[in-house]
Structure 1
Amino acid sequence: MGSITFYRSVFLIATLLACGAAYAAPAAGDLSYEPYALPVRGQASVAAELGTLTVPVRHAQPAGATLSLRFVRLKAVQPVAGLAPVVYLAGGPGGSGIGSALGARWPLFDRVRQQQDLILLDQRGAGRSGAAPNCPYALELPSQDLQDHARQLAASQAHARRCMAFWRQQGWDPNAFNTEENAADLALLRRALGVPRLSLWGMSYGTHLAFAALRTQGQTLERVILMGSEGPNDTLKLPLDADRLISQIAAQRQRPDLPALMASVIAGLAAKPALLQAPGLEGGKDSTLRVGAFDLQLATVLWLARRDSALQLPELYDALAAGKWDALATLVRDIRRYGGEQRLMPLAMDVASGASPLRLRQIAAEEGRSLLGPALNFPFPQISEGLGIEDLGEGFRAFPASAVPTLFVSGELDGRTPLHNAERLQRGFRHSRHLVIEGAGHDDDLWLASPVLAERMADFLAGREVSTAWLPRGSGK
C-alpha cells in the first residue's frame, strides 16, 4: 500500500488536527459522548447524544495514527428487550449518516428508534468524521471545445492525479479510505459500545459496506437491511441496465418509440455537435458550449438517476429532437462546472472496490450495445490509473453468502442500484426477504414512495415476520 508523506512543521500538524487526522490524541477504541440536539427540519430538535469514536487510520496498525468518527445516538423511546442497536450506513460513498435523518427521511428513522437504539454514523472521511479538505483545483474543460469521451476522460484523470498529490502532501493516506477499513470501524464501534451484536441498515453504498461487514463480522450481526443493493462487485454498473430502465420507462409512458428516438438524437449530435447557449450562474454571463453526443449521454445518466426526470425522458428527447436545447445546455454547463469536484473519501472508496476482470469485460462488451455507452460509469474505471490506490482484490468482491437475517428493499425504477442486483444477491442469503416498491426510483423516492415501508422495516428489525412482497406506490412523493 502507498506510503503517507508527513511534513513535520508545527503549522502542518495543526492543519491536520483541524481537518480531523488526529495524532497523539485519544487511543484507538476510545469512545465519548456529549449532549446533542438533532436539528430535524420542520419540527422541534430531537434530544440525542453526539458520540466520538477514535479509530486507527489503518487497522493493521492499531497503535499508529488515529482519526475520529462522529455519530449521533438516538436512544430507544420504548426499548424492546434484547434488540441490538441499529447502525445506519449512508450512501454515496461520502454521504452523512447524521445528515440523512434531518429531512424527509426522518419518519423512518423515528419509527425504528421507538423500539431500539439507532446510531447515525458518519463514516470515515465523510461528514463530521475525519474528512480531508476538498481538492482545491478546478477541472479545466474549455467550454467552446467539443468535449468528447476521450478528452473528458484525459482531463478527469489529470485532475484526479493532481488532487491525489495534494491530499498526500497534506498528510492523508488514500489507502486508509476503502471499504475494508470502513467495515473494520464497525467492529471497533461494536466493541466500544459494549454490545454483543449490531444490526445494520444500509442505503446504496451503505449496502456495499454492509456486505463487507457481513463477510468478516457475520457472527456479530443480528439483522441487516439493504436498501438499493450494491453488491461487492457492483460498484461499476452494467451499461445495459440503463437500457432496460429506458425500456421500462417507455412501456410505462406508452412510448415504445423512446429507445429509437434517443438513439436518433444521440447519433445526430455525434454527426453534428451543437453550439448552445447556457444561462450564466449567479448573474454571470451566459456560456457558449459546444455539445456532442457524449455530453447528452452524460446528461441522460443524471436524468435516469431520479425518478421524476427519468419519467420525463420522452418529453426531454421530444424537445431535443425539435431543436429545443435549453434543458441540455443547462445540465451540460453544470456537469462541466461541478462534475470535476473531488473529495478524497468517495474517490478512494470506489477506486479501491473496483471490479473483477469478468465484470470489466462484460461492461466493455455492453458499452458498444448500450444507448449511453461509457457514460454510465464515467470516469471509472480508467480514472484509477496512476492514483496509487490499491485494489481490494477478488476476495473482497466474492459473491456474498450469509445466514444473517436480511431484508432487501428495492425500487422498481431504480437507475443506480437496479432491482435485479438484489434478486441476484439474495440467492446467497439463507434467511432473507425482499420488498420491491412499485414505481420507486433511487434516493429519497425509495424511502418515501411506500407509506408502509417504515413499519415493515421496524417489524423486521424486531424479529417479527415480514413476507416478500411488492409494495404499491402510496402517498409518498
Structure 2
Amino acid sequence: MTTYTHRTLLLALSLATVAATVTAAAPAARAGTSGTAGTTGPALTWRPCAEPGGLTGQECAQLPVPLDYRDPDGPQLSLAVTRVRSDRPEARRGTLLVIPGGPGESGVRRLAAKGPALRKAMAGTYDLVSFDPRGVGGSSRADCGLDAADRHLVTLRSWPGPDGGIDGNVARSRRIAEACQRHGGAVLRSFTTRNETRDIDRLRQALGEEKLSAWASSYGTYVGAVYAQKYPRHTDRWVLDSNGDPNPSRVARGWLANISVGAEDRFPDFAAWAADPAREREGLRLARRPEDVRPLFLALAAKLDREPKESTTPGVPLTGNRLRQALQSALLSDGLFAELARLVQQAQDPAAEPVLPDAVAGPLPDQDATTFMAAVCNDVRWPASVPAHRRAVTADRARHPLTAGMPANITPCGFWKAPAEPPTRITADGPSNILMVQNRRDPYTPYFGALKMRRALGDRARLLTLDHGGHGVYLGNGTACGDRTVTTFLTTGRRPQTDTHCVG
C-alpha cells in the first residue's frame, strides 16, 4: 500500500501546470464555485485541461496552502486540483472527492483515468474533484538529490542481498536519509498525512462546500480515515477502498511489513492463471499444475541471484530481486499476469533477452523518489536497530520466501528526523457514514489489516468483502456486485445494514 504499489503511480505526470515552488501568501477569497453559502476559502481560477480523447470537461486550477499550518499567512505551497462538473445540475447533491493513493499517486491523473466510468456511475450526482498531494505531479515538489543507483524501485525498497545480508541496505538507507535531510528542507518535511488532510479541508472551503463525499483508495484510505477523524462534521458519504491497518504506532511501517502476507494470499491467483490450459494457446503456460508455479518461481529467482541475466535495458540486468519486485507489481491486477509470465519465460530461455517491465526497468525521477519516502517517513518514527532488522529479515525470509525479507528490512525511515507530529488514532467517534470495500486477496493491503481498520472505526463503518484478488476494488479490481454496492451508497445513501460479503 505504501503503494509502494506500482511504479506507474509514482511516475504519472500531472495534467496541471509544471510543479510550483514556495510562493508568497495568497489572500483568502470566496471561491467562485457552487456550494454552501458562507463557506469561504482561497479562490480557484479554473481553466480547461482535458486531453484529446480524455475526460471531457475536465478543468484544472492551483490551490495555495500554507507550508506550515501553524503559520497560515506565511509561505505557501501550491496544489494542482482538478474537477469535472455535474452534467445534470438538477441531480447534483454535492462534491465527490477522489483521494489518491501511493504515497505518490496523482489525483489529477487518477480522475482523468477513472473519470469516465465514475461519471457514468454517478449520473450527475456530484461534481468530481481530485488533487495532486504535496510532492506529486503539478503540486509543489521537493528533491533529495539522490544518485540514480539509489532511485530504482529495487533499491528504494530494501531487498536484502542474495544471502539475506542487509549491510548494503543499511548503508544505502543512511545515505538516502542524510541526502534528504541536506536537500529536502521544510517543503519535504511538510509531506505528511496530517497536512494532506488539512489541505483537503482547505480545498473543501475553496469549493464552497460544507461537506464532502469521498472515494479514497489504498494509502488514500488512511488519509480519508484521518480526515474523517479530524473533520467528522464535514464528511458526507465516505468510501474507503483497499484499507490498511491504522495502528498509530506503526502506520506505514506496518503496511510494508504486511506485504509479506499479502503476497502469499495473492500468489495462488497467479499460479492458477499461469497453469491454466488456456495459457497454452497464448504461449504463457508456466506449469501443468498450480502447485508447481511457486517452486518454479522461487528456483528461478535464486538462480538469478547467482547469475543475473542481461536484459534489453542497457546496464540493468534481470536479478533475483528485480524478478521478485516484478512479481509484487504484477500482483496488483490480473491484467499484469501476462507480463510477469512472459518475463519468467524469457528468464528461463538461454537464448532470450528479458524485457524488463517498466516497474523495474530504471530509476525514478528524483522528485518522485523523494515523495515515495517522505510521506511515510514523516508520519511515524521507524526503528533503526541493525541487529534487530537482521533478525527480522532472517525470520521473514524463512516464513515468506516470495518477498525474501524485504518487508521486514531497514529503510531510510530508520535514519529519518523524528516526526513533527504524532500520528492520528482512528476511533469510532463520528457519524456512521463510511463504507469500506475490500478484496479478500489484496497483495498490498491484506484483508487482516483491513479488519483492523474496521474494528477501529466501530459503528461508523460497514465492511463489504469480495472473494476476489487484486488491489483497488471499485471500478477496478473488484466485481459487478461490489461496484453496484458502492455506486448505490454514493448516489442514494443506502448502505448495507451490517458487514456483508458480495458475490458476483
Which residue among 66, 75, 83 is the counterpart of 1:56?
Answer: 66
2:348 pairs with 1:335: no
| Amino acid aligned to 1:274 | E
**C-alpha distance in structure 2 between counterparts of 1:156 and 1:28, whole Å:** 44
Deviations 1:264-293 (A, max 9, x none): 4444555xx01422124xxxxx447483x4
**C-alpha distance in structure 2 between counterparts of 1:218 and 1:212, whole Å:** 9
2:37 pairs with 1:32: no
Q: Tell me by how many angstroms 1:174 deviates.
A: 2.0
**C-alpha distance in structure 2 between counterparts of 1:227 and 1:414, whole Å:** 11
Which residue in the other structure is 1:246 paired with?
A: 267
**C-alpha distance in structure 2 between counterparts of 1:124 and 1:440, whole Å:** 31
More deviation, 61-70/409-418: 409-418
2:213 pairs with 1:199: yes
2:282 pairs with 1:259: no
- Structure 2 residue runs without a partner (length 5+): 1-16, 30-40, 155-159, 276-288
Which residue among 33, 45, 53 is the counterpart of 1:42?
Answer: 53
What value does the CA root-mean-square deviation take over the aligned residues? 4.0
Which residue in the other structure is 2:444 paired with?
A: 416
**C-alpha distance in structure 2 between counterparts of 1:302 and 1:175, whole Å:** 28
**TM-aligned CA distance change 1:112 to 1:181, over 3 Å:** same
Q: Tell me by how many angstroms 1:202 deviates.
A: 0.7
Q: Tell me by how many angstroms 1:181 deviates.
A: 0.8
Q: Tell me by how many angstroms 1:399 deviates.
A: 6.4
Deviations 1:399-438 (A, max 9, x none): 6765431122223443222334333422333143434455
Which residue in the other structure is 2:95 paired with?
A: 85
Which residue among 317, 328, 337 is the counterpart of 1:301?
Answer: 328
**C-alpha distance in structure 1 between counterparts of 2:487 and 2:403, whole Å:** 40
**TM-aligned CA distance change 1:391 to 1:165, over 3 Å:** closer
More deviation, 252-261/83-92: 252-261
3-state SS of 1:33 partner:
coil
More deviation, 231-240/449-458: 449-458
3-state SS of 2:373 partner:
helix
Q: Tell me by how many angstroms 1:183 deviates.
A: 0.8
**C-alpha distance in structure 2 between counterparts of 1:166 and 1:355, whole Å:** 19
2:393 pairs with 1:372: no
| Amino acid aligned to 1:335 | V
Which residue in the other structure is 2:424 paired with?
A: 396
| Amino acid aligned to 2:424 | F
3-state SS of 2:224 partner:
helix
Q: Tell me by how many angstroms 1:65 deviates.
A: 1.4
| Amino acid aligned to 2:438 | S
| Amino acid aligned to 1:24 | A
Which residue among 312, 319, 325 is the counterpart of 1:279?
Answer: 312
**C-alpha distance in structure 2 between counterparts of 1:140 and 1:302, whole Å:** 19
Which residue in the other structure is 2:488 paired with?
A: 459
**TM-aligned CA distance change 1:35 to 1:237, over 3 Å:** same
**C-alpha distance in structure 2 between counterparts of 1:445 and 1:82, whole Å:** 21
Instruction: With the length of structure 2 as denominator, give the TM-score of the two structures.
Output: 0.72
**C-alpha distance in structure 2 between counterparts of 1:174 and 1:421, whole Å:** 28
**C-alpha distance in structure 2 between counterparts of 1:109 and 1:385, whole Å:** 42
Which residue in the other structure is 2:285 paired with?
A: none
**TM-aligned CA distance change 1:464 to 1:404, over 3 Å:** closer
| Amino acid aligned to 1:37 | P
Deviations 1:426-467 (A, max 9, x none): 233314343445544225996265456555333212344244
| Amino acid aligned to 2:220 | G
Instruction: With the length of structure 1 as denominator, give the TM-score of the two structures.
Output: 0.76
Asked whether the 8 Å contact 2:488–2:495 carries over to 1, the reply is yes
Asked whether the 8 Å contact 1:303–1:310 carries over to 2, the reply is yes
Q: Tell me by how many angstroms 1:396 deviates.
A: 2.4
Q: Tell me by how many angstroms 1:219 deviates.
A: 2.5
Which residue in the other structure is 1:10 paired with?
A: none
| Amino acid aligned to 2:237 | R
3-state SS of 2:486 partner:
helix
Identity %: 20
Which residue among 223, 235, 239 is the counterpart of 1:225?
Answer: 239
Which residue in the other structure is 2:34 paired with?
A: none
Q: Tell me by how many angstroms 1:299 deviates.
A: 3.4
**TM-aligned CA distance change 1:400 to 1:81, over 3 Å:** same
Which residue in the other structure is 1:167 paired with?
A: 183
Asked whether the 8 Å contact 2:170–2:411 carries over to 1, the reply is no
Which residue in the other structure is 2:255 paired with?
A: 235
2:373 pairs with 1:347: yes
Q: Tell me by how many angstroms 1:224 deviates.
A: 0.8
Deviations 1:293-344 (A, max 9, x none): 4444333323323423447867865775x555957x5439973732585533
Which residue in the other structure is 1:434 paired with?
A: 463
Q: Tell me by how many angstroms 1:100 deviates.
A: 0.9
Q: Tell me by how many angstroms 1:244 deviates.
A: 2.2
Asked whether the 8 Å contact 1:274–1:290 carries over to 2, the reply is no
Which residue in the other structure is 2:280 paired with?
A: none
**TM-aligned CA distance change 1:225 to 1:325, over 3 Å:** farther
Q: Tell me by how many angstroms 1:179 deviates.
A: 0.4
Asked whether the 8 Å contact 2:82–2:108 carries over to 1, the reply is yes
Q: Tell me by how many angstroms 1:261 deviates.
A: 3.5
3-state SS of 1:331 partner:
coil
| Amino acid aligned to 1:242 | A
More deviation, 124-133/250-259: 250-259
3-state SS of 1:64 partner:
coil
**TM-aligned CA distance change 1:87 to 1:114, over 3 Å:** same
Asked whether the 8 Å contact 2:42–2:205 carries over to 1, the reply is no
**C-alpha distance in structure 2 between counterparts of 1:222 and 1:443, whole Å:** 21
Asked whether the 8 Å contact 1:306–1:442 carries over to 2, the reply is yes
Q: Tell me by how many angstroms 1:78 deviates.
A: 2.4
| Amino acid aligned to 1:129 | S
**C-alpha distance in structure 1 between counterparts of 2:474 and 2:345, whole Å:** 25
Which residue among 157, 166, 173 is the counterpart of 1:157?
Answer: 173
